[in-house]
Amino acid sequence: MNSIAKSLLKSAKHGRATWLRSRSDTSGKRHPRKLVLGIETSCDDTGAAVVDDAGCVLGEALHCQKEVHLQAGGIIPVVAQQLHRENIERVVKEALGTSGVSIPDLTAVATTVKPGLALSLGVGLQYSLGLVNKYQKPFIPIHHMEAHALTVRLTYQLEFPFLVLLLSGGHCLLAVAQGVSDFLLLGQTIDIAPGDMLDKVARRLSLRKHPECHSMAGGQAIEHLAQTGNRQQIMLRFPMQQYRSCDFSFSGLQNIVNNTITRKEKEEGIQEGEILSCVKDIAAAVQHTVTVHIMQRTYRAMVFCMKNSILSSKNATLVVSGGVASNQYIRKGLKTLADVNGFAFLCPSPRLCTDNGVMIAWNGIERLRVGLGVLHSTEGIRYEPKAPLGIDISKRVAEDSIKVPRLKKIIQLAS
């Protein structure tokens, strides 16, 4: 472990842990038959929760590493691994304690095993296997993106099928959820995810030095500054305009933004690391360009699904989830797009959009109900840093070559 990682871990040990406690069941009633403990360690959040088969969150806890990684300007996997190791037992005990449920009372343990950071996934899997082997409980391996996609069914009465857009720091994809563990993949990012791109732009703009943003994560800082910026002052090209698919790309846009920042620094006579006078305009332009790109691909997915009778016009629904779905500008644009196309729009609450143990436990409940992937032997279980979601039909989408109308009027409605 290098010196930077060691110093970050040292500061984390002296800092206060960040905890999220949810509602607990204090009614004194008997617990329903099925109780699942969910454990999440796919990236930089250590989460645990107990959820019952009625969809009640009995207890949850979360340790967030954001402050530590902000100091390094990005997630260092070995640091994330060590912080997971230091906090996982405490987080699990907190969730169990709040729920009033003991491990012998659990029906099963569900844990994220794919996709994610290898070192982080390994911590959650190792701890979970220790529990299930000691207490002889069934184990439910969870696909992180499946859990994000199904979280909406915890808080809304939503039947399959529905269109789901997952936006986060590590993922970006469009899929049709046809059932638990039954997905049609329409498109995904061919390079980096939108959250990753926004974080990198924030670092290039040195937003941690901005007086309004010093304690914010990169994406949050971009959203905050964009509120008072003028996007029309900075012209950026929308990605992949020549490709009529549902795939996404953000690395090319990031390069264009970096070049724009360098040009502006020369114009203002400042060095890299100093704050540009037009920083809010750049933030607004970047956020808008990302939003329009996401809206264009989602629009095509809607048209494709209706054209091919994958979704019915009577109950077509767009679900948006993942950490980037907490961005209100992006969310508003997508809601307006859904309204214009006759889709219902659903999005989990912001706290359920980011990584958490609740979504993992709920995915476990969903799988228990239909008897999918409930393992009574843990032999041969491995984590998978990369793992596709569902059946990939993105080539079929591209072959349809659907041209979508211009978004200018929809964007005006969203503004």
pLDDT tens readout for residues 11-29: 444 433 333 333 344 344 4
- Assign 268 to helix, strand or coil: helix
Does residue 72 surpass a pLDDT of 90?
no
Average pLDDT of span 62-75: 80
**Taking a C-beta distance cutoff of 8 angstroms, is the pair 32, 52 a contact?**
yes
State phi, psi for 164 to the nearest 5 degrees: -130, 135
Beta-sheet strand order (sheet of 391-392): 344-346, 317-321, 162-167, 172-179, 182-188, 391-392
Does residue 320 surpass a pLDDT of 70?
yes
pLDDT digits (tens, 9 = 90+) for 323-372: 899 999 999 999 999 999 999 999 999 889 999 999 999 999 999 999 99
CA–CA distances in Å: residue 16 to residues 8, 11, 19, 47, 68: 14, 10, 9, 16, 11
Provide, rounded to the nearest whole percent, the portion of the chain with pLDDT above 70: 91
User: How high is the pLDDT of residue 1?
Assistant: 56
Q: d(Cα 33, Cα 161) in Å, to the nearest integer?
A: 27
Of 49-63, 100-114, 230-244, 395-409, give the lowest mean pLDDT range.
Answer: 395-409
Q: d(Cα 289, Cα 240) in Å, to the nearest integer?
A: 12
**Taking a C-beta distance cutoff of 8 angstroms, is the pair 123, 317 a contact?**
no
Does residue 5 surpass a pLDDT of 60?
no
The answer, as to whether pTM is greater than 0.85, is yes
User: How high is the pLDDT of residue 120?
Assistant: 97
Beta-sheet strand order (sheet of 35-40): 57-64, 45-52, 35-40, 108-114, 139-143
Q: d(Cα 69, Cα 366) in Å, to the nearest integer?
A: 33
DSSP letter at 104? G
User: How high is the pLDDT of residue 412?
Assistant: 73
Q: How many CA atoms lie within 13 A of 386 on its CB side?
A: 0
Average pLDDT of span 372-378: 96
Does residue 169 surpass a pLDDT of 90?
no
